[in-house]
Amino acid sequence: MSLDFPLILVILVFGTGLIWLADRLLLAPGRQRSHETLRAQYPGWQDEGSADARRFAEAAQRLPREATIVEYSRSFFPVLAVVFVLRSFIVEPFQIPSSSMVPTLEVGDYILVNKFTYGVRLPVLRTKVLDLGEPKRGDVMVFFPPHMNDTYYIKRVIGLPGDIVSYRSKRLYVNGEPVPFEQLAVLPEGRSRVQLGLAELGGRRHLQQINLARPARDFTVTVKPDHYFMMGDNRDNSSDSRVWGQVRERDIVGKAFAIWMHWDSLFSVPSFDRVGAIE
């Protein structure tokens, strides 16, 4: 079972914040009054080496102190709050775990996802509170798939609400029009051949690959209202809307817009050769 990091972060932020606030409102004033009373009792408490200073130090040891959990909450809350705001509403980093988006994204790519392009959403609840835009054909989008409600997926937006998406003989059609595809090369891959080319969606071109040895899985589907049809750029090695269905609007996480690092494994050296915008 995967950890629900957004939920954990929300709990940590509000937990540390409430502990710190409760202490400041309920307990800290009492500690402050006790110290003020003690300073009034020993007016020479600041004179180093004096009798008042010695008695004040001894008496101060017996006064109520800030609890350890309050000290930790006060230290961690500002850091957690900044991380919470950045990650929930502005930008979030992700790692690419599979080859479904090859050649656009490779396993080990670390990417950045814009969290407000498609509107501001409440973390955990996923409720949109501010509508700033909608996904466009060709966008690379992060979302929760319908069959796994706690796992991030990343695919390309193929069909918008109301679109008719068809796939025939490994050619993609949207609303009856073929998606332009320019072949760049045919490369050997084991016992099969892979067709590498440039496809055009939404007026933008992106890399795509097709395994010519695998049989075509033809289909025609109409995209439901408030849903999106997603497919991987590695057409024959991608679990996407052809397998688990369409993505609901409320399950959108954000738009992937940049690669900032590539790191194959823990024991390899990170590379920055692939840094750049995601097409």
Across the range 91-102, mean pLDDT stands at: 95
Per-residue pLDDT of 115-127, as tens digits, reads 999 999 998 888 9
Cβ atoms within 10 Å, residue 232? 26
Note whether 209 and 174 are same-domain residues.
Answer: yes
Same-domain check for residues 48 and 133: no
Do 225 and 112 fall into the same domain?
yes
- Kindly state whether residues 80 and 102 are assigned to the same domain: no
Identify the CATH number of the domain in which residue 191 sits: 2.10.109.10
Pair (113, 63) in one structural domain: no
Per-residue model confidence as pLDDT tens digits over 33-78: 998 998 899 888 888 888 888 988 888 888 888 999 999 999 999 9
Give the domain extent around 115: 96-277
Identify whether residues 259 and 227 lie together within a single domain. yes
The per-residue pLDDT for range 142-201, each reduced to its tens digit, is: 999 999 888 899 999 999 999 999 999 999 999 999 999 999 999 998 888 999 999 999
Please give the Cα distance from 96 to 153 (Å, whole number): 9
- Catalytic sites, residue numbers: 100, 155
Percent of the chain's residues with pLDDT above 70:
99
The Cα–Cα gap between 123 and 138 comes to 25
Strands (E) in the chain, as ranges, are 91-95, 109-114, 120-121, 128-130, 140-143, 153-159, 164-168, 171-174, 177-178, 181-189, 192-201, 204-211, 219-222, 227-231, 247-248, 252-262, 276-277
Instruction: Tell me: do 71 and 107 sit in the same domain.
Output: no
Domain count for the chain: 2
The angle at the Cα of 257, spanning 252 to 259, to the nearest 5 degrees, equals 120
pLDDT higher than 90, residue 261: yes
| Same domain, yes or no: 118 and 173 | yes
Query: Cα–Cα distance between 90 and 123 in angstroms, integer?
Result: 12
**Pick from 39, 59, 88: which residue ends a domain?**
88
Instruction: Read off the pTM.
Output: 0.86
Are residue 118 and residue 232 in the same domain, yes or no? yes
Out of 31, 56, 88, a domain closes at: 88
Does one domain contain both 123 and 17?
A: no
pLDDT value of residue 1 = 40
